[in-house]
Structure 1
Amino acid sequence: MSPERGAFTSILMLPWLAHGHISPFLELSKRFADRNIHIYFCSTPVNLASVKPKLAGTKYFSKIKLVELHLPSLPELPPRNHTTKTLPPHLMPTLKKAFDTSSPGFAGILRLLVSDLVVYDFLQPWAPAIGTSLGIPAVEFLCTSATMCAFVNHANMKPGVEFPYPGIYLHDHEFDKFTNLLECSANGIKDRERVFQCFERSLDMIIIKGIREIEGKYIDYLSFLLDKRVVPVGPLVEDTMFEDGEKSKILDWLDNREEKSTVFVSFGSEYFLSKQEMTEIAHGLEASKVNFVWVVRFHDGERDAEANSRCHLPEGFLKRVAGRGLVLQGWAPQAAILQHSSIGGFVSHCGWSSVMESIRFGVPIIAMPMHLDQPMNARVAEEVGVGTEVKRDETEHPESGGGEEHQECDGRQGGGESEAESEGDERYHKKERR
């Protein structure tokens, strides 16, 4: 047992291996640290390498200790890919399997540190099980919206019963994509099973990233369904950070634009637009005649981002929009951009962190949800008056970037097993949309 046991209260934080989860886990860690709670922040070395600079030189440097969790290094999954950032979609099952196989290492970390509480994410039901076996309570922290969580739990617990809030729904093609993802399998475990085991194993409460004024009725309904307290902890917007070069390029460019004259366009760190999607968005931005900052991303298998952007964008696009359009490749400090006075709108995929940042900085959303929880988040934003959704056809083009999700479920790629049956659980294969 650690000799420090009892000297202070400590919490071990274990996020899923995605920036969209690591960032809110880190912000929540800071809130705990402000209350004199010692934090152990546990993730893979490649993820911790991006966290460390955010703590350096701050009051949190001594309060939040970074703890490395080592995944097996496989030929197809080297340590630099022990994160979802730029991960080729077909390797997602491999990453989940590798994360699962790190559970003995996580148990060793818990035995060594003997924390008072484990705060875990939505895909690792083994984390609360290990905590319980060691007499350490565990609580789930959800980085997604209460709306989505309520919708999914309602579908699971009340199959065939219409969701009680008609403003939240999925079109048929969205429903099919979402349920296919829930049926994805890695290491012999469906994501649906992971998600609901994580709900069940949380002690007597769920912590959630959100605001009661925005999602109050959905928070209460989720609490009713789970028979647990659901505690919203605010938007948890990440502190803004710039490298000198980034500041010069981006902020200087924005400083030369009039107030609320510029649209920020970004679809998150893990969705890769297809050539067709990029072409259509480029045509729309060009026709709009407004200033814009557009972040484009390519996954790790496409090393030459500049060459890829030239191939994916319409010929001559960059020249035609020169002076009013800034195209950034890979990553941009989203929160810092959104709070700039020249930004007047946000074309967004409606990841939950993006919705929270938009609300935090008062930037209206033009919603273009792509997959996962994003359609439900977009409808929450529209319901509360902070955004409007772009209406699109209910069928996907075959070249859509969303098709990469199916690669995540392909057991022949990346070592996962495909268990998305054509005749499966009625709760997830019904065509009911609400």
Structure 2
Amino acid sequence: MSKSSTTDSLAQPLLPHIALLPCAGMGHLTPFLRLASMLSSKNCLVTLITASPSVSAAESIHISLFLSQHPKVNHIEFQLLPSNPTTITTVDDPFFLQWQSTNRSLHLLYPSLASLSPPLSAIFSDFVVASSITPIAGQLGIPNYIVSSTSCKFLCLMAYLPILLSNDSSFSTLATQVNIPGLAPFPITSIPPPFRNPNHLFTSLIATSAQDLSSAKGILMNTFNEFEPETLAAVSDGRALNSILPPILPIGPLQAFELKNDHDEYYLSWLDNQPKESVVYVSFGSRTAMSDSQIRELSKGLDRSGYRFLWVLKTSKVDRDDTQEVKDMVGESFIERTKNKGIVMKGWVSQQDILQHPVIGGFVNHCGWNSVMEAARKGIPVPWPQHGDQSVNAEIVDKAGLGIWERKWGWGLEELVGEEARKATGLDGNSEKVVMEVVEYLMQKSN
């Protein structure tokens, strides 16, 4: 080998190697896959870490499809420890139980991560495992960035939760709002009910993770400045949670990557034949199960409204348990009456493809944060919060002018929000810019 070629070889910069660790639930997995796709496209080495077994079939399918379309992404699948009988909880939510198991099992990952070549430059981990991943990142001598699947405002509530729980009056029956210094008050009605019970598994997991936030290098948020201006400004200038939170890095709205299912062509071709902005898309997310009475009431409303609709239906939290046929859920008479104006279907759909279709005029949704960000890109109205962080999300949506129930905001502001979201994800937009700043920092550390 010549001297010049040796010099060239030595001068070649090392690429950042980033491990991404999502937790159970499509709402948690989706932003990680989108972030992994972006990083991989920017010449970063990416290792995706997933727990086995997964809770839902949708997670397994999406991970497999993602890996088949991103062959350069390395995959580590680690087995969770069996449940500990001494920590059995009355909570029956399979996703919360999986979060608990993941935290108990994470220490097993260290040998696999330590042996990766080239060595890791950083870990991007889910908020839910912040307390468990911190010591591992410390042992590896690399920074940990937390990826939050919520709004910045709800992140602030989670970060402040240990302090709220230490004060008996925070969630008292007499309280009408929850106050966090530097932020607008939270109406007590928007606080997830489990937060009022310090012994609830969900509350315990969130509060434990919140205590380790300051150890992170930063928190990557799937949001953007124009959507949460007051909260992001309060956090960035130190008026809110100054000693609790590391730097907040807004990277949203994260762009979806191409991911097709076998039945995509059916509903997309149906949409192709509908008039512009004439279809209401109805979906309550990957975890929100509807009761028989809710299904009956919603079907009556759709029938009487006369609007065209695409309704993605779910009757159980875990899709593997969703065994009912559509006709048994809504009734054959409903399907017959509405066959010329609507589709009712089960299973996972390409929501991004649906929302960007020009015939979609409204989105009846649970206000999950990924759905909010996807809708924001198109300026499509989003109503109907259901649980968890969604009441807080609904307030943000309302204030941003994207709430269909608040006509006073008008379509002009909704279009403006959509335009700002598109700017944030453009080539020179904030979303990619912030991620690339993190990559640049890791590049400098590696070299």
TM-score interval (norm. to shorter): 0.7 to 0.9
Which residue matches 1:304? 323
Letter in 2 for 1:65: N
Which residue matches 2:36? 29
Relative to structure 1, the CA distance from residue 194 to residue 98 in structure 2 (aligned partners, 3 Å threshold; closer, same or farther) is: same
The residue matched to 1:102 in structure 2 has which SS? Answer: helix
- TM normalised by structure 2 equals 0.73
Letter in 2 for 1:100: N
Distance in 2, matches of 1:382 and 1:310, equals 35
Which residue matches 2:227? 214
Which residue matches 1:51? 63
Tell me which structure has the larger Cα radius of gyration.
Answer: 2
The residue matched to 2:79 in structure 1 has which SS? Answer: coil
Deviation at 1:262, TM superposition (A): 0.3
Are the counterparts in 2 of residues 145 and 210 from structure 1 also a CA contact under 8 Å?
yes
Which residue matches 1:103? 106
Deviation at 1:228, TM superposition (A): 2.5
1:71 has 2:103 as partner = no
Are the counterparts in 2 of residues 264 and 294 from structure 1 also a CA contact under 8 Å?
yes
Distance in 2, matches of 1:235 and 1:181, equals 33
Distance in 2, matches of 1:181 and 1:95, equals 20
C-alpha RMSD of the superposition? 2.9
Distance in 2, matches of 1:144 and 1:252, equals 32
Are the counterparts in 2 of residues 120 and 141 from structure 1 also a CA contact under 8 Å?
yes
Are the counterparts in 1 of residues 192 and 387 from structure 2 also a CA contact under 8 Å?
no
1:179 to 179, 190, 195: 195
Cα deviation, 1:73-132, whole Å, max 9, x if unaligned, reads: 6799xxxxxxxxxxx954345323321232132112221123111111111121122111
1:187-336 maps to which residues of 2 (within 5 A)? 190-203=204-217, 205-223=218-236, 224=238, 225=241, 226-247=244-265, 249-299=266-316, 300=318, 302-306=321-325, 309-313=326-330, 316-336=333-353
Which residue matches 2:123? 118
The residue matched to 1:286 in structure 2 has which SS? Answer: helix
The residue matched to 1:340 in structure 2 has which SS? Answer: coil
Gaps of 5+ in 1: 1-5, 77-87, 392-434
Distance in 2, matches of 1:75 and 1:182, equals 20
Are the counterparts in 2 of residues 122 and 198 from structure 1 also a CA contact under 8 Å?
no
Deviation at 1:48, TM superposition (A): 5.8
Relative to structure 1, the CA distance from residue 155 to residue 30 in structure 2 (aligned partners, 3 Å threshold; closer, same or farther) is: same
The residue matched to 1:331 in structure 2 has which SS? Answer: coil
Deviation at 1:382, TM superposition (A): 1.0
Which residue matches 2:425? none
The residue matched to 2:124 in structure 1 has which SS? Answer: strand
The number of residue pairs the alignment matches comes to 363
Gaps of 5+ in 2: 1-12, 86-90, 171-177, 408-447
Deviation at 1:147, TM superposition (A): 1.5
Higher helix share: 2
Letter in 2 for 1:132: G
Which residue matches 1:40? 47
1:416-431 maps to which residues of 2 (within 5 A)? none
Deviation at 1:271, TM superposition (A): 1.0
The residue matched to 1:31 in structure 2 has which SS? Answer: helix
Relative to structure 1, the CA distance from residue 98 to residue 240 in structure 2 (aligned partners, 3 Å threshold; closer, same or farther) is: same
The residue matched to 2:99 in structure 1 has which SS? Answer: helix
1:61 to 53, 71, 92: 71
Are the counterparts in 2 of residues 285 and 292 from structure 1 also a CA contact under 8 Å?
yes
Are the counterparts in 1 of residues 277 and 360 from structure 2 also a CA contact under 8 Å?
yes
